[in-house]
Structure 1
Amino acid sequence: MTPSRPIPFSEPPYLSGLPSPFHRETHLRWQKACREFVDENLHQHAMEWEREETVPEDVFRKFAAANMLIPSLPAPLPVEWLKRLGVHDVLGTVKVEDWDSIHTAIYTDEMTRSGLLGPSGSLTTGMAFGVPPIIKYGSPQLQERFLPDLLLGRERTCIAITEPGGGSDVANISTTAVKSPDGKFYIINGSKKWITNGIWAKYSTMAVRTSNAGPNGLSLMVVPLANHPGVTMRRLKVAGQISAGTTYIELDDVKVPVENLIGAEGMGMKYIMTNFNHERLNICVSATRQARVALSAAFAYVMKREAFGKTLIEQPVVRHRLAKAGALLESQSAWVDQFVYEMTRLSKAEADEKLGGLTALCKAQSGMVLDECARCAVLLFGGNGFTRTGQGEIAERIYREVPGVRIPGGSEDVLLDLAVRQLLKNYNNETKAIELGTRTLKI
């Protein structure tokens, strides 16, 4: 029997039998265990659940019980908290204290291997982006109140930044949080839109305006959602990632204890920007896997589909399309691997400073690469790629999800500009430091 070989472009090089400078034995063991768990508990039903627009609640509970939501957190993991809660490893393969960014990237990649962002996003988005600000900036009292339930998946949360009147323009958030006369509560009024997981969340990590206009007036706080007085939520109909539960939230005189403030008043913009780096790198990894799924599905199709007396793969124009998209995909994959490795060698503060602009650029590029690979797949599937059922369904769905990569986490045009501005800022700061003799130029 001929041994099974992966379809070209379907797997990253380290899973295609090629050597990797980044992946150690611990990463390979984790990838194998992770794939087995995720295939069994998510991917075999992912397309069905995406068509039904909701992942069953018991799936979230299964992932929570196996501590398989925790890997969506940025590395290093909150080891002290996890051990206090009885979590010492993930799937018996990696100790929480040994976890690094490569383990996180493998998890994100495997969670997206169905080609769909909705099913995995329905499980992980709240944990991945709503919990980290509490871990990093929350007071000990705030952490004691919320982290046990959130880390163990007993309660769900979300990240609530975007508003109807502003997406990437975070500095102009208009939802207000005004202290009550007795100083015990914030009274919140406003609305949030396009909030992933919101419809199922008991809490949110929410950006609100606590003082003046502009970035210095923003704060982050834990805001109760489900069944809380003054909170109204409804699901939004979106083109892709449907099962992830995109939500519109209205807040009408919502009372929140002042103890729910995350960190200090007026520091919200800094906290949000730091949190964005993890989100953007996650998007890079997910989009690269989606591009793999789309392009390899098209590759498999053109090897069997016949036209004009021969298979499509025998047509030079088809090979040209695959080659062009494949070159972009593998280049992007290598860039993402490099980023993830750099995260294992830098402190969080160093990574935020040195990689922030480049992370924005990588995220923008990942959307462009996905667009190219998904469009290539749809064109090679022909009519089947324009149909929401049948053998081209995966290409059609991935193509619909492209805007969900290019817009969230900072829209593409905003991030391209941000990347260059950040690189220029770092260059000017380092040049000044060298001139003042406070930093040595490394060659």
Structure 2
Amino acid sequence: PVFPFPEVPMPHRSLLFDLYTDGVLDAAFLSSFRPEPLGPEAREIVDAFRALSERFPPEELEARGRVPEEALAEMGRIGLFGMSLPREHGGLGLLFGQYLGVVAEMAPVDLALALTSLAHLSIGVQPVVLFGTEEQKARFLGPAARGETIFAYALTEPDVGSDARHIRTSCRLSDDGRHYVLRGQKTYITNANYAGAFTVFAQLEGHRPGHMVALVVERDSEGFTVGRDMAKMGLKASSTAFLRFEDVRVPVENRLGDEGQGFRIAMSVLSYGRLAVCAAGVGLMEASAEAMAKRAASRVQFGGPIGRFELVREKIGRARANAFVGRAMVELAARQLEEDPRANVAVETSHCKLFCTTRAWEALYDAQQVAGGSGYLATNPYEKRLRDFRVATIFEGTTEIHTIYPPLVVARGLGRRLPKRTGGRVGALLSGIFRRLPAFPVTGVGQADRALRLARRKARGFAWRIRAALLRHGKAIAGREFLLRRLTWTSLYGYGLLAGALRLAALARAGGDTAGAA
């Protein structure tokens, strides 16, 4: 067996990866962590989105099966397509954490409408922000911020999903060296029929799999076809379609980064996309907890409100606790990306994606359950939220992928650090098993410090177990999925405890709301 996920060289900082492989912890970064308030500008965007949703109600957009042009134009006017883009290029310049806070507020209102701006900002145009030249930024970001050019991200293909290294769309440099000639197909592309530009990933012909380029393909390019929107279970107002490239000539000026850097660009950008999906999940967990609490107080059965029943209170408490931890995990990963936009947060964002999507789905189910028969009616938001969010456990990496992915990332990192000789490798792994991890921060908040001590034990358990697993299984660890799942959840619980404790301590010191932390 071989590792199913390719190695992606990412020289930038990583919190968990560095802790597990090198025993290094950035205590100063952790100690400085504070939850990011939305701020007045972000609040204005949320209010504007709510007003937009009143003008274009979710049920009407769903019946239409698309967002009308006048709604897209209004989204551009109120800044929904430029929230996180730099001010110098016409955006609002929100910090990434603030942008995610806006996503969390928008998701319960209408996730299908929110997805149009979310997909544009988080993955569509983000490659230009991270890897574009100054000329490319000047050319593309202004129209993107105003909503004049909506972006889409094109990686997935009919026969290739999670195994993105082996996409079949290919390109070659033209004889005159002025264009890339692109051919192939993409599918399930969000914003396809709204977009004026597409960030497309293609294999460079004549090179090994994974040697890719990232190209900005403009909609009016000759030989480029966008299919009809696909009928879907949910998110019906969002656009999802098929793309076909038949010898499309893309100017070399539209290449992002260097030749061969495309796969790295794709993987880096997916971290932003995962966190946006997670933020939506957090918002839906919080909305579900609030809906359950209201229902539990108002619905009377057996002589009293149903909120007195333990099984109902359990559902409310679980949603609140998971929302608190999920928000903390997302905020901590977002802060890493704010400090270093190309930070290697693959493990952290994978943990966020697994936790926030599965726990949000649970909260949505519970909210419908507490609502009883009325929860099954389409006149209430429960069934639409379930349908809209169902895909969240599938795109941006399936639940199954994220259940095994983090230990394999760490295993690859350890493998790069081991001596080539067998004896040396065994010795290095054994010494790592007995290595002490650095101390975690002390916050002075009793409940938070207890959680931090437990987080350190979880991290220690993961660090020695991954080395023991490599000693026993070597590269065959890739096929030991039950073992990988146990390792993933050990690390995830540790990260959740770490993030939750830091958020709790920061809120306690500031006198903020710590509901859900218990």
Using CA pairs under 8 Å that are at least 6 residues apart, name the structure with larger relative contact order, 1 or 2.
Answer: 2
> For residue 53 of structure 1, what is the aligned residue in structure 2?
65
Query: Structure 1 residues 246, 232: CA separation in 2 closer, same or farther (over 3 Å shift)?
Result: closer
Match among 364, 384, 389 for residue 374 of structure 1: 364
* CA displacement, residues 168-210 of structure 1 (integer Å, 9 cap, x when unaligned): 1111111122334444333322211111111111210011122
The amino acid that maps onto 2:379 is: G
* CA displacement, residues 82-107 of structure 1 (integer Å, 9 cap, x when unaligned): 4xxxx6xx4xxxxx4xx423322222
The amino acid that maps onto 1:54 is: R
Q: What is the alpha-carbon distance in structure 1 between the residues aligned to residue 122 and residue 354 of structure 2?
A: 20
Match among 328, 340, 344 for residue 347 of structure 1: 340
> For residue 104 of structure 1, what is the aligned residue in structure 2?
99
Query: Structure 1 residues 144, 336: CA separation in 2 closer, same or farther (over 3 Å shift)?
Result: closer
> For residue 62 of structure 1, what is the aligned residue in structure 2?
74
1:271 aligns with 2:265: yes
Any idea what SS the aligned residue of 1:121 has?
helix
Q: What is the alpha-carbon distance in structure 2 between the residues aligned to residue 46 and residue 179 of structure 1?
A: 47
> For residue 292 of structure 1, what is the aligned residue in structure 2?
286
Q: What is the alpha-carbon distance in structure 2 between the residues aligned to residue 330 and residue 136 of structure 1?
A: 30
> For residue 129 of structure 2, what is the aligned residue in structure 1?
135
For structure 1, the 5+ residue unaligned runs are: 1-20, 91-95, 436-440
8 A contact 1:187–1:255 mirrored in 2: yes
Any idea what SS the aligned residue of 1:199 has?
coil
TM-score, normalised with respect to structure 1: 0.79
8 A contact 1:173–1:209 mirrored in 2: yes
Match among 237, 240, 245 for residue 246 of structure 1: 240
The amino acid that maps onto 2:157 is: E
> For residue 475 of structure 2, what is the aligned residue in structure 1?
none
1:33 aligns with 2:44: yes
8 A contact 2:89–2:137 mirrored in 1: no
8 A contact 1:209–1:217 mirrored in 2: yes
* CA displacement, residues 293-329 of structure 1 (integer Å, 9 cap, x when unaligned): 2332233223323344443223332223333333323
Q: What is the alpha-carbon distance in structure 2 between the residues aligned to residue 253 and residue 361 of structure 1?
A: 39
The Cα shift of 1:43 comes to 5.4
Q: What is the alpha-carbon distance in structure 2 between the residues aligned to residue 78 and residue 314 of structure 1?
A: 50
> For residue 42 of structure 1, what is the aligned residue in structure 2?
53
The Cα shift of 1:69 comes to 1.8
The Cα shift of 1:226 comes to 5.1
The Cα shift of 1:428 comes to 6.6
8 A contact 2:56–2:71 mirrored in 1: no
Question: Any residues of structure 2 matched to 1:275-424 within 5 Å, and which?
Answer: 275-344=269-338, 346-349=339-342, 352-353=343-344, 355-387=345-377, 389-391=378-380, 394-424=381-411
> For residue 169 of structure 2, what is the aligned residue in structure 1?
175
- In angstroms, what is the RMSD of aligned CA positions? 2.8
The amino acid that maps onto 2:53 is: L
Any idea what SS the aligned residue of 1:216 has?
coil
The amino acid that maps onto 2:67 is: V
The Cα shift of 1:159 comes to 0.7
* CA displacement, residues 370-411 of structure 1 (integer Å, 9 cap, x when unaligned): 121011112222333333x223xx111122233321111111
8 A contact 1:201–1:226 mirrored in 2: no
Query: Structure 1 residues 132, 324: CA separation in 2 closer, same or farther (over 3 Å shift)?
Result: closer
> For residue 8 of structure 1, what is the aligned residue in structure 2?
none
Q: What is the alpha-carbon distance in structure 2 between the residues aligned to residue 144 and residue 51 of structure 1?
A: 38
8 A contact 1:294–1:373 mirrored in 2: yes
Any idea what SS the aligned residue of 1:70 has?
coil
Q: What is the alpha-carbon distance in structure 1 between the residues aligned to residue 150 and residue 74 of structure 2?
A: 14
> For residue 494 of structure 2, what is the aligned residue in structure 1?
none
Query: Structure 1 residues 295, 152: CA separation in 2 closer, same or farther (over 3 Å shift)?
Result: same
8 A contact 1:205–1:222 mirrored in 2: yes
* CA displacement, residues 198-234 of structure 1 (integer Å, 9 cap, x when unaligned): 1111210011122257553221101123574341321
Match among 238, 255, 278 for residue 261 of structure 1: 255
8 A contact 1:54–1:243 mirrored in 2: yes
The amino acid that maps onto 1:81 is: H
Q: How many residues align?
A: 391
Any idea what SS the aligned residue of 1:300 has?
helix
> For residue 501 of structure 2, what is the aligned residue in structure 1?
none
1:189 aligns with 2:200: no
Query: Structure 1 residues 297, 64: CA separation in 2 closer, same or farther (over 3 Å shift)?
Result: same
Query: Structure 1 residues 39, 181: CA separation in 2 closer, same or farther (over 3 Å shift)?
Result: same
Match among 68, 81, 86 for residue 78 of structure 1: 86
Match among 134, 147, 157 for residue 163 of structure 1: 157
Query: Structure 1 residues 320, 293: CA separation in 2 closer, same or farther (over 3 Å shift)?
Result: same
Query: Structure 1 residues 53, 442: CA separation in 2 closer, same or farther (over 3 Å shift)?
Result: same
The Cα shift of 1:141 comes to 4.2
